[in-house]
Chains A and B, each alone.
Chain A
Amino acid sequence: MEKQNKKSEPSFYVNFKKVYARNIDSNISLLNFLRHNCKFTGTKEGCSEGDCGACSVLIFDEKGSLAPVNACILKVGQIIDKNIVTIEGASKLSSADPLIQALNSEAASQCGFCTPGFVMAALALKEKHKSPSERVIHDSLSGNLCRCTGYRPIVNGIQSLKEKIKFPMPINSKGSKLKTAIFGKTTYIYPDSKKELIEFISKEKNYTVLSGGTDWNLEAEDSNFKEQKILFLNNIKEMSTIKTKTSSFEIGACVTLSKFEELCREFFSPFLDTIIRFGSPQIRTAATVGGNLGTSSPIGDLAPLFFVLEAELSLLGPKGERTIPIKDFFRGYRKNALKRNELIYKVKVPKTKKEDSIFSWKLSKRYDQDISTLSLAAKFKMDKNHTIENIILSAGGVGPTPLLLDKTSKLLKDSNLRFNQNSLITALSHDISPISDLRGTANYRSAAMVGLIKKMQRSVISGEKQHSIMSI
């Protein structure tokens, strides 16, 4: 009897030991579970919104590779049967010792509250890279904030270490078989096939669709104690994989930004900076392609990229899949074409052709781990005489939804990029309707959009990549 109970009880692994999620009265976060239930208090809460990294822990993926993730915006319901490593587990590993000693020698810890999170981010980096460049170190620390040191001793400590760090293999990294789990009044449902998914959405009405949770879990505080059903999608293989077809990629909606980054590295490299700046490694470990489109924010960083690539979305409803072009998906501020009981299933992205060039630029107050103030993406095709045959421009942060800049595209094409500034401003004024908010004024956004188009113009004319001042 007890054995059977245990089998259907939600559990996961912390520091290579199995823990059961018992006696829980709410939709609890991994952070609170670690601190209160496991008494692993080395993992800290700094912000509870996935931005400071004090709560960073490591999570193994199904291939046994590890990545940092923010425990504050990850729910226990999302990590059933997964392997988690905290500072308590990591600092006991003899392989981690040289890193900790190096950081100590550099005085990389002052008040120390952010420190365990930095150690976890550094471990994840050093597990993959023997001798990372400064740039890669900054990429890997972009989800960790320190208010005391000024970072240099942390970066130096990591740099001084020239060996990779080895981790033990995770326990039982095969997928989870659990069908449901209950945390207080919250029920998680875990379909693991398209069939089960369709069955569920055909009969249920009130539920929340969840994958990475990097957006939805921020708002979860209000619903943690309320009766709710959460449909967790990550166990459906097809939704978490990228399929390469002859002329396109089929990207499952639950493909994480980390996985998408690998695809971009190979096939859409001009987008790579924007993808890395989508969010910190901790965020990219959890955040998904479908989630970013599904929230339908006017500044979702992926949308402009998909607009110019002319992607199509495959939406799944009780009656099966239907396909719509991405330009028809967004229907207003945080509104989209999803019908009741529909969800984004896949994104079909055509491969770029040899003669296509792509460009993207993200503009934010801070270079790393910041929400875009505005963004621009472009795809253009030049003929042999360097005349533009075709151009698509898309922008985020300058209207209620991500936009196609039709008038501006036409101007650029018709003038073959030899436009004057006033005609550009006029064309843009038809395409965009920015507002003023905490990220910038409307006038700033308009002026900066002109600046971004100039950058693109320079890049096309010179054929050289335009660099951000942060990467020169």
Chain B
Amino acid sequence: MALDNKNNISVGKSHYQDSSFRQLTGRAEYIDDIPLSENTLHGALILSEIPSGMITSIETEKAKKFDPSITVITAKDIPGRNDIAPIFTDEPIFAEKEVTYVGQPIGLIVASSMERARAAVNEVQIVYKKDKTPILDLDLAFKKKNFFLKPIHFERGNANEQIKQAPHKLEGSFSMGGQDHFYLETHIALAIPHENSEFTIWSSTQHPTEVQHGVSNVLNIPAAKISSKVRRLGGGFGGKESQSTIYAAIAALGAYILDKPVKLRLNRKDDMASSGKRHDFEVKYSVGFNKKGKIKGLDITLLSNAGNVCDLSAPVMSRALTHLDNCYSFKDFTARGYICKTNTVSNTAFRGFGGPQGMLAIETILERVSRFLEIDLDALRHENYYSLKNGIKTPYGQIVKNIKIEKLINEMETFAGLEKRKLLVEKFNTSQINKNQPYRKGIAFMPAKFGISFNKVSLNQAGALVHVYTDGSVRLNHGGTEMGQGLFIKVAQVVSECFNIPIDYVHISGTNTDEVPNTSATAASSGSDINGMAAWKAATVIKQRMLKHASKVFQKPPSSIEFKNGLILSGNKSMTFKELAFSCWENRISLSSTGFYKTPKISWDQEKFKGSPYFYFTWGAAVSEAIIDIDTGESRILRADIIQDCGTSLNPLIDRGQIEGGFIQGIGWLTCEELYFNSEGKLLTLGPSTYKIPGSRDVPPEFNIKLLENTPNEEKTIFRSKAVGEPPLLLSISHFLALKNAVSMASETSNADLLNAPATPSKILAAVHNDHSM
């Protein structure tokens, strides 16, 4: 496979997302747009209103009076197992006796229309016996030792001894908020029953196989009879990795009981109340260092808020812990991870999957140390970067190869002019102070290293199915799902490249468990790495057969035959790809193949918390410039410069979209997006009127993006590309550091330590005034 993409027909070209034009004209079909048969019914969820307690009774008389034709379905109606947990067995689809968070599904009402189902739900009354002491926050869970699994503890060297002996030490704690995915398309599933207990489940999911298994378990019907499908998602971001299963299973249960198609589309309020989010974390640390900022010993404890069930919280914690090092070599290092169980909605995968929390933790600590020592943060980082001098082994034992930190720093200096701008920022602030004006700027650089592969080794596998038809058209199917990230076009580019045919010969088909079984979630940034390779393998099998046949037709050795832009060339003879395909069929040669890929070289021992869980690392760096208003606490990002390592990019246009979108999503997490729970554990930010994601004006007016050039992946990935889905999100931490930088220069009394994420106007003003009570 080529290391560069200069002579390629498809790979490396900036093709549009495969259905972009249909999306722009309203013709792309999402699950809610699928034409329904007339007997289709609609569901709405009955959700718990209390965080913890027992259900005494579910009163549905009033609902039935409103519409006698409705059906109420609860836990007792489940024919199979009342559980859809992805890893453990602790996640009921309907609370049966005990409820464990506000927003937990208790039952389903099925009616002739969605509006009727929802109106009927409003008439349902649930009587509870309330638990008087629900656990609603991390502190209480930690105090009560309310954990999932055994706490993780791993160490290298002797951190505490080194901290003790270090010339300087600091300790402290801080928190960081969660984040709602706010995909524009809420959770939805359409379940259609067929003869012989077969079901088709259309659901907006990143993990059709898990939907298939969930439905199979709940209905007690073999997986082979469940066909799980999705053409596209209206956004996923991790929120539809494990979380979509429950809604699909509930719709399927309705269809099973009523023997009619049932659609369950959550309104935004129910979606935000019942489905999981990014984990909020708390960090406790002590750190010892010398006067240059070299970290001598580091002891970090992470608490994550798992919510009411474990879901994916264990691997999220693993990724957080394995990203605490970011780009730094910490020889004496201790880390602990506590997965806290609370009576709040179960948190789940979200772009970065714990990585952002781990990296924000270490960057916050280093920023504090640099302020304490009154030295430049970047100078401090230099003392600690992974290098042959400082060490290249992570605390969990993986060797960091092909380190690109220096390359990034050098390119960034030319790209962003960091050092000069640091001075300009200081000058601006001095002039604002002198003129009694309220603006302050801040600027910060940050490097990021992100590990690619699922932390659980078994998930790193993918399948694909390729058919070539006798007219030369190619049908491509694989286990990955399209949620806007451009996976389908990237994999199609790979297949087009394999046969050397124009991209429009390749027809992209929707994901389904009929064609490619036993797939992994499209997650962990791995979509194009693993599905691209599986599709390449499938196409290669067919190509070899076609080549062998062409060799017979041309009576020339295969090595002299070339597939070129839809033609098959041999000396001065040629035929079209279509002619060869037809000829293969005539000669009874199979034009269909599967492909299978498993990521090599990875190993992990969760018990010892040791191994090499990542096939490779991606590298990136960003400079953010922020401005704050010290009258009001308002803030804004003024400029961002990003350099991201995409290896040899499969599609620069798509990768750029991932970088920009991921970065802005991170800005939202760190600034305006605040999940607000009241004292009864009820989330009050249940829609975009109260939960504010970034809008178009919140994007930096100057936004420069560059893909790192001439850096093919050293590992043998598909066309030497690198994953891009999650890593750019972590670079948004640079903006948070820039805000801290601005706060630290706001006035003599300001205290940047008070600024925790999300940096809302309230928190920024609190830090400026050094007043906890805001």
Interface flag for A119 (CB, 8 Å): yes
Is B235 a contact partner of A147 (Cβ separation < 8 A)? Answer: yes
Least Cβ–Cβ distance between A436 and chain B, in angstroms: 10
With A149-B657, A370-B692 known to touch, is A112 a contact of B232 (CB < 8 Å)?
A: yes
Interface flag for A225 (CB, 8 Å): yes
Contact of A110 among B657, B687, B760 (CB under 8 A): B657
Is A138 a contact partner of B696 (Cβ separation < 8 A)? Answer: yes
Interface positions, chain A 110-166, Cβ under 8 Å from B, are 110-116, 119, 134, 137-138, 141-142, 144-155
Bound form: Cα–Cα A41–B486 in Å: 23
With A152-B660, A443-B773, A447-B771 known to touch, is A113 a contact of B30 (CB < 8 Å)?
A: yes
With A48-B267, A49-B268, A363-B634 known to touch, is A444 a contact of B765 (CB < 8 Å)?
A: yes
Interface positions, chain A 34-50, Cβ under 8 Å from B, are 35-36, 39-50
Bound form: Cα–Cα A237–B656 in Å: 51
Per-residue CB contact flags for chain B residues 336-363 toward chain A (1 = under 8 Å, else 0) read 0000000000000000000000000000
Chain B count of residues within 8 A CB distance of the other chain: 94
With A111-B234, A365-B674 known to touch, is A147 a contact of B25 (CB < 8 Å)?
A: no
Is B765 a contact partner of A438 (Cβ separation < 8 A)? Answer: no
Interface positions, chain B 721-774, Cβ under 8 Å from A, are 760-762, 765-766, 769, 771, 773-774
Residues in B with CB closer than 8 Å to A444 are 633, 761-762, 765-766, 774
Stretch at the interface among B570-578, B606-614, B661-669: B661-669
Interface positions, chain B 308-344, Cβ under 8 Å from A, are none
Contact of A142 among B236, B662, B696, B761 (CB under 8 A): B696
Per-residue CB contact flags for chain B residues 676-699 toward chain A (1 = under 8 Å, else 0) read 100000001101111011111111
Residues in A with CB closer than 8 Å to B22 are 112
Contact of A451 among B35, B267, B438, B653 (CB under 8 A): B438
Least Cβ–Cβ distance between B41 and chain A, in angstroms: 14
Least Cβ–Cβ distance between A151 and chain B, in angstroms: 4
Least Cβ–Cβ distance between A149 and chain B, in angstroms: 5
Stretch at the interface among A83-91, A201-209, A315-323, A341-349: A83-91
Least Cβ–Cβ distance between B689 and chain A, in angstroms: 5
With A46-B185, A148-B484 known to touch, is A109 a contact of B438 (CB < 8 Å)?
A: no
Residues in B with CB closer than 8 Å to A148 are 235, 484-485, 657, 661
Interface flag for B237 (CB, 8 Å): yes
Contact of B690 among A39, A40, A87, A438 (CB under 8 A): A438
Bound form: Cα–Cα A449–B182 in Å: 31
Is A469 a contact partner of B628 (Cβ separation < 8 A)? Answer: yes
Stretch at the interface among A100-108, A328-336, A404-412: A100-108
With A112-B232, A142-B696 known to touch, is A440 a contact of B119 (CB < 8 Å)?
A: no
With A110-B661, A444-B762 known to touch, is A368 a contact of B774 (CB < 8 Å)?
A: no
Interface flag for A470 (CB, 8 Å): yes
Residue of B nearest to A47 (CB): B268
Least Cβ–Cβ distance between B191 and chain A, in angstroms: 19
Chain A count of residues within 8 A CB distance of the other chain: 87
Is A115 a contact partner of B23 (Cβ separation < 8 A)? Answer: yes
Q: Classify the interface of chain A: helix, strand, loop or mixed.
A: loop
Stretch at the interface among B13-21, B47-55, B501-509: B13-21
Interface flag for B28 (CB, 8 Å): yes
Q: Classify the interface of chain B: helix, strand, loop or mixed.
A: loop
Residue of B nearest to A149 (CB): B661
Contact of A100 among B21, B267, B694, B760 (CB under 8 A): B21
Per-residue CB contact flags for chain A residues 211-245 toward chain B (1 = under 8 Å, else 0) read 00000000001101100000000000000000000
Interface positions, chain B 505-524, Cβ under 8 Å from A, are none
Is B632 a contact partner of A451 (Cβ separation < 8 A)? Answer: yes
Is B699 a contact partner of A151 (Cβ separation < 8 A)? Answer: yes
With A111-B232, A150-B664, A154-B696 known to touch, is A41 a contact of B484 (CB < 8 Å)?
A: no
Contact of B697 among A35, A42, A45, A142 (CB under 8 A): A142
Least Cβ–Cβ distance between A9 and chain B, in angstroms: 21
Interface flag for A371 (CB, 8 Å): yes
Contact of A363 among B25, B185, B632, B769 (CB under 8 A): B632
Per-residue CB contact flags for chain A residues 436-458 toward chain B (1 = under 8 Å, else 0) read 00101101100110111011001
Is A138 a contact partner of B484 (Cβ separation < 8 A)? Answer: no
Binding site for B on A (CB under 8 A): 25-26, 28, 32, 35-36, 39-52, 54, 86-88, 91, 100, 103-105, 107-116, 119, 134, 137-138, 141-142, 144-155, 221-222, 224-225, 363, 365-371, 373, 438, 440-441, 443-444, 447-448, 450-452, 454-455, 458, 468-470, 472
Which 10 pairs across A and B sit closest by C-beta, in order of nearness?
A: A42-B26, A111-B484, A112-B23, A451-B631, A113-B234, A110-B484, A87-B26, A150-B664, A51-B688, A150-B660
- With A49-B688, A144-B696, A366-B698 given, name 13 new contacts (CB 8 A): A42-B25, A44-B185, A46-B186, A105-B16, A111-B483, A142-B695, A148-B485, A148-B661, A367-B697, A443-B773, A448-B633, A451-B631, A469-B627
